[in-house]
Amino acid sequence: MHKPAPSDFPVHQLILERWSPRAFVDKPVPQNLLRSIFEAARWAPSSNNEQPWAYLVATKDDKENFEKMLSVLVEFNANWAKSAPVLAIAVAKLAFAKNNVPNRNAQYDTGAASLLLSMEATANDLFVHQMAGFDPEKARQVFGIPAGWEAIAALAIGYPGDPDSLPQPLKDREMAPRTRKPIAEFVMAGHWGHTAPFITK
């Protein structure tokens, strides 16, 4: 399914095209594409070039690993994410490697890596649906995530499928128009709450 963002101002086509499907086609993602999307994550900017992210990945052909991944998702997410051919968890290292000082941008940088991964996916007709709905402590146990690292988000990756494959409430959400706050609400200048003048001119 194609679901371009109805933007108020011109932006790159890739940004318009990215969206988060819940229905996926039963089709594996070629390994070269998987390598490319994680290569895109690799080139994300990060505070002090710390690159605090790591990804645990399960492809559907690896049944045991895929089941482990599904087991850490909340039921709502597991019910639709099981149709994706690839599941992943983004993990962040919470302190700088060189001095163990807390890295207050670790989650931010990991999000940036996941978004670059998502954009590279979109450029290859692949789509990524990130999820907060999973149990980070269960992920720690199931995958042996070490102390000092924190599971941040789960990701379902694959080719968008037929919305009719979803149960009714999810089908409606899949088809619903995409909405966002106007930029005037979040782009400010001079003082909190004052919309930046270039927005309204």
Ligand X SMILES: Cc1cc2nc3c(=O)[nH]c(=O)nc-3n(C[C@H](O)[C@H](O)[C@H](O)COP(=O)(O)O)c2cc1C
Contact residues: ligand X, CB under 6 A? 19-20, 77, 130-133, 153, 178
Q: Which is nearer to ligand X, 83 or 130 (CB)?
A: 130
Beta carbon of residue 17, minimum distance to ligand X (angstroms, whole number): 10
Q: Are 64 and 71 in contact (CB under 8 A)?
A: no
Q: Which is nearer to ligand X, 35 or 173 (CB)?
A: 173
DSSP for 78-118 reads HHHHTTSSEEEEEEEE-B-TTT--B-TTHHHHHHHHHHHHH
Beta carbon of residue 139, minimum distance to ligand X (angstroms, whole number): 14
Q: Which is nearer to ligand X, 73 or 142 (CB)?
A: 73
Q: Which is nearer to ligand X, 132 or 175 (CB)?
A: 132
Residue 172: CB atoms within 10 Å: 11
Beta carbon of residue 24, minimum distance to ligand X (angstroms, whole number): 13
What is the 8-class DSSP label of residue 73? B
Q: Which is nearer to ligand X, 103 or 130 (CB)?
A: 130
CA 52/CA 30 separation, integer angstroms:
26
Ranked by CB distance to ligand X, the top (closest) residue is 133
Beta carbon of residue 158, minimum distance to ligand X (angstroms, whole number): 14
Dihedral (CA of 30, 31, 33, 34) sign: positive
Q: Show Cβ contacts of residue 193 under 8 Å, excluding neighbours closer than 6 positions.
A: none
Beta carbon of residue 20, minimum distance to ligand X (angstroms, whole number): 3
